């Protein structure tokens, strides 16, 4: 077979020489394997369907993966089908096994086609394996690129951004960040050297942490100057994730909400004056 490039010759010969099974014989082997764990029956059942595995595997040869690996993964799917097959349903084993063979090969392709892991949902799988075909069909109908993406998204139940992202992935190959920028051996620069890290530098992180701890200590010292009621109001209004309302605090303290607002305003002003008088010079130096 000219199409079966990459499959070992002896493997092909063994598969092509395997006998075809009649429905009754196929069912008998399935029953023996399912009810009695007859491994010889499993071997005969699997061997007779290796042509099917090879045929399904060849449909995925264009993804750049070794055909022999595709066949091996298909064989895993064939064995999974044999383990789950229910002969009493009167369905031919080849019909049932085709789905498992294809699913096993598809999973292998998705795991190994790119070093970047793609989506594994049914919609993402359908997008990965059908994008080129649908795009070619729409191109023949005279659809422009943007409209084609919208049609594909509607047909497969995914977003247009998913289609655009998958199209970009399928249009180019993976490039290692450790690959040299040029083929010139004298250049030691790698692609990763030109990636810009927008995060803060290590010294900035440490400095920010130290400044934060210092300001927290200043605030703690300043709050010790507040009365018990002022401290309670400021904590409930300014330092809690779910800040309490003026009305709620007024009911707790037995005062009006306007009185709570006045106390809060006075306490905040007291904190501001205390912090400025005690740490104005240090705060100015830290800002520099």
159 and 259 together in one domain: no
Helices 39-48 and 50-58, packing angle to 10 deg: 40
CATH number, residue 281: 1.10.10.10
- How many CB atoms sit inside 10 A of residue 104's CB? 24
Assess contact for 247 and 236: CB atoms under 8 A. no
Residue 197 lies in a domain: no
Compute the average pLDDT of residues 141-157: 63
b (16+ CB within 10 A) / e for 191-215? eeeeeeeeeeeeeeeeeeeeeeeee
Residue with tokens 């498992």: 100
How do residues 172-222 score in pLDDT, each as one tens digit?
565 667 777 776 655 667 777 777 778 888 888 888 888 888 888 888 888
Query: How many domains is the chain built from?
Result: 3
62 and 139 together in one domain = no
The answer to whether the beta carbons of residues 260 and 253 sit under 8 Å apart is yes
Q: Are 189 and 176 in contact (CB under 8 A)?
A: no
Nearest to 69 by CA among 60, 78, 79: 60
**pLDDT value at residue 3:** 44
Read off the CATH number of the domain in which 79 is found.
Answer: 1.20.120.1810
Is residue 193 domain-resident? no
Q: Are 153 and 219 in a shared domain?
A: no
Whether 271 is in a domain gets the answer yes
Q: Which of 30-39, 159-168, 171-180, 258-267 has the highest mean pLDDT?
A: 258-267
Is the pTM value of this prediction over 0.85? no
Q: In the predicted model, is pLDDT for residue 105 greater than 60?
A: yes
CA distance 285 to 232: 32
Q: Which two tokens stand for residue 171?
A: 């249009």
**What pLDDT, on a 0 to 100 scale, did the predictor assign at position 15?**
72
Instruction: Name the percent of the chain lying above pLDDT 90.
Output: 8
CA distance 12 to 49: 12
Domain interval for residue 227:
202-287
pLDDT band for position 259 (cuts 50, 70, 90)? very high
Residue 154: inside a domain, yes or no? yes
Q: pLDDT: is 86 or 122 the higher one?
A: 86
- pLDDT average, residue stretch 40-52: 87
Whether the pLDDT of residue 27 is over 90: the answer is: no
Terminal alpha carbon distance of the chain? 77
Most distant pair of Cα atoms in the chain: their distance: 97
Query: Which residues, at least 6 apart from 214, have a Cβ–Cβ distance to it below 8 Å?
Result: 282, 286
123 or 264: whose pLDDT is higher?
264
> Are 107 and 20 part of one and the same domain?
yes
Whether residue 108 is contained in a domain is answered as: yes
Q: Mean pLDDT, to the nearest integer, of 250-277?
A: 89
Q: Could you say which of 78, 97, 113 is where a domain stops?
A: 113
- Whether residue 191 is contained in a domain is answered as no
Q: pLDDT-derived band of residue 261, with 50, 70 and 90 as boundaries?
A: very high
| Within a domain: 184 | no
Identify the DSSP state of 193.
Answer: G
- One domain for residues 36 and 140: no
| Per-residue pLDDT at 4 exceeds 80 | no
Judged against a pLDDT cut of 80, whether residue 45 lies above it is answered with yes
**The token pair that represents 143 in the structure block:** 């659809």
Residue 255 has a pLDDT of 92
């Amino acid at each position: 077979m000219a199409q079966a490039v990459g499959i070992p010759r002896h493997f092909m010969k063994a598969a092509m020489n395997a006998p075809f099974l009649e429905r009754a014989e196929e069912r008998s082997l399935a029953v023996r394997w399912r009810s009695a764990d007859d491994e010889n029956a499993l071997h005969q059942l699997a061997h007779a369907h290796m042509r099917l595995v090879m045929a399904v595997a060849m449909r995925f040869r264009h993804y750049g993966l070794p055909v022999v690996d595709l066949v091996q993964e298909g064989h895993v799917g064939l064995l999974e089908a044999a383990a789950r097959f229910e002969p009493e349903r009167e369905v031919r084993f080849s019909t049932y096994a085709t789905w498992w063979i294809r699913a096993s090969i598809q999973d292998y392709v998705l795991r190994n086609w790119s070093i970047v892991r793609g989506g594994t949902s049914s919609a993402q799988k359908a997008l990965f394996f059908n994008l080129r075909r649908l795009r070619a069909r729409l191109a023949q109908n005279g659809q422009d690129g943007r409209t084609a993406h919208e049609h594909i998204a509607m047909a497969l139940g995914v977003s247009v951004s998913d289609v655009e992202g998958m199209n970009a992935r399928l249009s180019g190959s993976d490039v290692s960040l450790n690959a040299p920028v040029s083929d010139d051996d004298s250049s030691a620069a790698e692609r990763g050297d030109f990636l810009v890290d927008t995060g803060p530098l290590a010294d900035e992180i440490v400095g920010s942490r130290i400044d934060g701890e210092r300001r927290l200590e200043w605030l703690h010292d300043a709050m010790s100057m507040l009365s018990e009621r002022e401290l309670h109001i400021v904590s409930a209004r300014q330092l809690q994730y779910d800040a309490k309302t003026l009305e709620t605090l007024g009911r707790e303290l037995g005062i009006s909400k306007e009185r709570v607002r006045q106390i809060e305003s006075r306490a905040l002003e007291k904190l501001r004056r205390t912090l400025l008088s005690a740490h104005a010079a240090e705060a100015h130096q830290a800002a520099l």
